[in-house]
């Protein structure tokens, strides 16, 4: 697939970059995308939820009333789940939600998401750039030049540029990552994906050689 290369002023440079079909021209696999997003979200869960069961609640273990002859249901101690202040029956316990996903499935999911973005014309390639200082107005100016508006945008750079990251930090609709770290969830969450020229080539090499 061939993509136009723009500069940071939003102007077409007249250059074309050729990207392998193994990155932007695959047959999208929705199930692989679903699995990868599911794993990503599961890995974000801390799993530290916990409630006390009847054996962990502080309270008397004395039997509240005699077993028979009261006309009511049988009752145990004050820690029973049926009594206010008692423990919780089958409450949540700390657990690990993460699960394994094969590398080939994750790779297929990522290139499927990229293919969708390319087909929707939501993938932009810009010349390699950096900021001389961390200023939010620099990022706002770049977004305006690329006609991104206020839609969620993901910038994928060759390396983690601290000045670019800090310039985007105060803009809720902008995220910045690098080619090695970009994942399916971030690609789908963003309305527009902006690659630096070197980053898309690096990602292409990572996909081909993986």
Mapping DSSP onto H, E and C, the string for 43-89 reads: HHCCCCCCCCCCCCCCCCCCCCCCCCCCCCCCCCCCCCCCCCCCCCC
What average pLDDT score do residues 175-191 get?
94
Domain coordinates in residue numbering, the chain: 2-46+98-209, 51-91
pLDDT single digits (tens) 112-132: 999 999 999 999 999 999 898
- List the Cα angle 81/85/89 in 5-degree steps: 25
What average pLDDT score do residues 95-117 get?
95
The pLDDT of residue 1: 85
CB atoms within 10 A of CB 119: 13
Buried b (16+ CB within 10 A) or exposed e, 83-102: beebbeeeeeeeeeeeeebe
Average per-residue pLDDT for the chain: 93
Confidence of residue 209 (pLDDT cuts 50, 70, 90): confident
What average pLDDT score do residues 71-91 get?
92
Q: CA–CA separation, 90 vs 71, rounded Å? A: 29
Flag whether pLDDT at 96 surpasses 90.
yes
The pLDDT of residue 149: 86
Q: Is the pTM of this model over 0.95?
A: no
What average pLDDT score do residues 63-76 get?
92
Confidence of residue 186 (pLDDT cuts 50, 70, 90): very high
pLDDT single digits (tens) 142-175: 999 999 988 999 999 988 788 999 999 999 999 9
Q: What is the third-level CATH fold of 2-46+98-209?
A: Ribosomal Protein L4; Chain: A; (3.40.1370)
């Amino acid at each position: 697939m061939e993509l136009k290369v723009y500069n940071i002023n939003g102007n077409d440079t007249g250059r074309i970059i050729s990207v392998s079909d193994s990155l932007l021209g695959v047959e999208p696999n929705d199930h692989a995308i679903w699995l990868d997003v599911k794993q990503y979200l599961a890995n974000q869960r801390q799993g530290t939820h916990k409630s006390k069961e009847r054996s962990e609640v502080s309270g008397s273990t004395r039997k509240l009333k005699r077993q028979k002859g009261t006309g009511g249901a049988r009752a145990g101690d004050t820690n029973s789940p049926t009594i206010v202040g008692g423990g919780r029956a089958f409450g949540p316990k700390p657990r690990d939600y993460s699960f394994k996903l094969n590398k080939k499935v994750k790779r297929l999911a990522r290139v499927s998401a990229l293919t969708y973005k390319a087909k929707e014309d939501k993938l932009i390639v810009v010349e390699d750039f950096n900021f001389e200082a961390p200023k939010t107005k620099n990022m706002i100016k770049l977004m305006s030049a690329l006609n991104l508006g206020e839609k969620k945008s993901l910038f994928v750079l060759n390396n983690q540029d601290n000045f670019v990251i800090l310039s985007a930090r105060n803009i809720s609709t902008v995220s910045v990552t690098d080619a090695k770290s970009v994942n399916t969830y971030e690609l789908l969450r963003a309305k527009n994906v902006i690659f630096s020229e070197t980053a898309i080539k690096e990602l292409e090499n990572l996909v081909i050689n993986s």
